[in-house]
Structure 1
Amino acid sequence: MMKIGFIGTGNMGGALASAAARSGEVEVLLANRTKAKAETLAERIGAVVSRNEIIAREADHIFLGVKPQMIVDVLKGIAPALKERKSAPVLISMVTGPDIARIQELAGGDYPVIRIMPNMPAAVGEGVIFYACSGNCDKAQQEAFLRYMAPAGKLFPLAEELHAAGSAVAGCGPAFAAIFLESMADGGVACGLPRASAIQYAAQMMLGTAKMVLETGQHPGVLKDSVCSPAGSTIQGVQTLEKCGMRAAVFDAVTVAYEKNVELKKASD
């Protein structure tokens, strides 16, 4: 059974480690600056608590899940152990900013790299995970990654230069969607619904709407039109959303998130 190691077990690292453990195809090693955090996660998912250097020596695939400001020190710290290996591991980076070439440079070798951009719904198996592979990452390595990551959600190949845009939609999007969901629930409360029920209704509505788009292939605009009866309540609500600029606000939220992603990339170069 192949070994995969996670250096950094924050929210995203923990979500992906949990998904990999559920696959039943890998042995999971965990290392975190706060050891207790790794221990709690390891007990929950059946993983092994380890250290950065051990993961660098033993893991076939190594996930880098630390904060951007820590990646330089982490990679330089494990570089000697990586260099001593007989076979090169695959480095899997979920760090915002550094591209594949930069990860290889910091690691001190031409290692196979898979750069990923996951989102938080991976924690419940409904994530979006963009990935791009270095030229020396072979088919078998990619297929193994896709198999053990499948429990996290949907994986989409995406050119590295588009990761900033993809992240602005799928990575930042859960926060935007949560604001809309909360606002829908607030409206329901204003109309007399109990809050817990209003949140549940709004969440299920969003889940069902998204599923309809994915399973029918319909454009969202077609789905919207199918709900809007002439002179009905829905079209009146849509008119209010348009008057208040919801469409423009969401458009702008995605574009400013994209611009920030580009800025972070430039800062890491």
Structure 2
Amino acid sequence: MEIGNSERITQIIGFIGGGNMAKAIFDGIVSKKLVDTNQVFVSGPRIERLSYFKDQGVHIAENNQSLIKSCDVIFICVKPHVLETIACQINSPSIDDWHNKVFVSVLAATSLEKIQSCFVMPMKLIRVMPNTPLAVGEGCCVFTPKPNVEAKHINLVRSLLESSGLCLQVPENQINAIAAVSGSGPAFMYTIIEAMADGGVKMGIPRADAVKLAAQTMLGAAKMVLQSGKHSAQLKDEVCSAGGTTIAGIHALERGGVRSAMMDAVEASTKRAIEMECSHK
């Protein structure tokens, strides 16, 4: 088993479901040359929707059971309400090396316990909460393995995911809150970028330039937080000159409740995830 950000992985990777998250993970690991496209299988209910993968040279599996027989690591990238249907399709004693396979769930608000309860065979299962910026090498994901998952399999999955950004192992009871920050977070950030660009357009900057400036500014600010080692409040203070333009803008943000609104957004997303998880039990 080859593991490491600069090493090629020899295992066969499968994706049950070919939606946005499967594409993001696939794009990330292929762009980093961890795997070749001919090491990847994908399945889905409608073959025509898998054309993106087919065009990349990925194997299109005839069905989910066929995919599992062919693969070593299987990402379950479907909506939670489809889980039981998928389980019925692949529960089979004919898969004689089931115990050697690692299943990685990216299902939102679906616990390890719930996933395992849908399957007849004991699974080596890892629950992952990734986000779509994995596709551009700036992802943020967390994972929780079942106790029966061996260290070599945890390291393999970690290598696949951390090749495209930050990847942390966390207790399962933190995943819903983390999903609100990093999973839903990109949508929150896109909203801020859009709002900043709108402000620039209002003040006379062409739309295309305003979007680029806002996005690059957020990217740069994020790297400053991650690489400088300084608290975000300190970095903010370093930009705010006494009586200057930035502190005037910060005052406007505080008056508009930006800090409270962002905290409310994380809280609302977390509560919704908990509601969804409870409904799946």
Mapping of residues 16-55 of structure 1, within 5 Å: 16-22=25-31, 23-25=33-35, 27-44=39-56, 46-50=57-61, 51-55=63-67
| Corresponding position of 1:230 | 242
Give how far 1:4 is off.
1.4
Give how far 1:87 is off.
4.1
Mapping of residues 131-170 of structure 1, within 5 Å: 131-170=143-182
| Corresponding position of 1:86 | 97
Q: Percent identity?
A: 33
Which portions of structure 1, spanning 4 or more consecutive aligned residues, are displaced by more than 4 angstroms?
none
Whether the 8 Å CA contact 1:65–1:93 is kept in 2: the answer is yes
2:24 is aligned with what amino acid? A
Whether the 8 Å CA contact 2:141–2:161 is kept in 1: the answer is no
Indicate yes or no: 2:226 matched with 1:214. yes
Distance in 2, matches of 1:242 and 1:21, equals 42
**5+ residue gaps in structure 2?**
1-9
Q: State the TM-score, normalizing by the size of structure 2.
A: 0.91
User: Per-residue CA shift, 1:154-194, capped at 9, x if unaligned?
Assistant: 11111111000000000111111111111111111111110
Distance in 1, matches of 2:249 and 2:198, equals 15
User: Per-residue CA shift, 1:58-98, capped at 9, x if unaligned?
Assistant: 211111001111111111211116x6323421111000122
Name the SS of the counterpart of 2:208 in structure 1. helix
Indicate yes or no: 2:14 matched with 1:14. no
The match for 2:210 among 185, 198, 209 is 198
Indicate yes or no: 2:116 matched with 1:104. yes
Distance in 2, matches of 1:67 and 1:87, equals 23
Give how far 1:10 is off.
0.3
2:249 is aligned with what amino acid? G
2:199 is aligned with what amino acid? G
1:92 is aligned with what amino acid? V
Distance in 2, matches of 1:20 and 1:205, equals 27
2:59 is aligned with what amino acid? V
Q: How many residues align?
A: 267
Name the SS of the counterpart of 1:84 in structure 2. coil
Distance in 2, matches of 1:74 and 1:149, equals 23
Distance in 1, matches of 2:92 and 2:165, equals 34
| Corresponding position of 2:125 | 113
Whether the 8 Å CA contact 1:21–1:47 is kept in 2: the answer is no
Superposition CA RMSD, Å: 1.4
1:47 is aligned with what amino acid? V
**5+ residue gaps in structure 1?**
none
| Corresponding position of 2:195 | 183
1:246 is aligned with what amino acid? V
Whether the 8 Å CA contact 1:97–1:267 is kept in 2: the answer is no
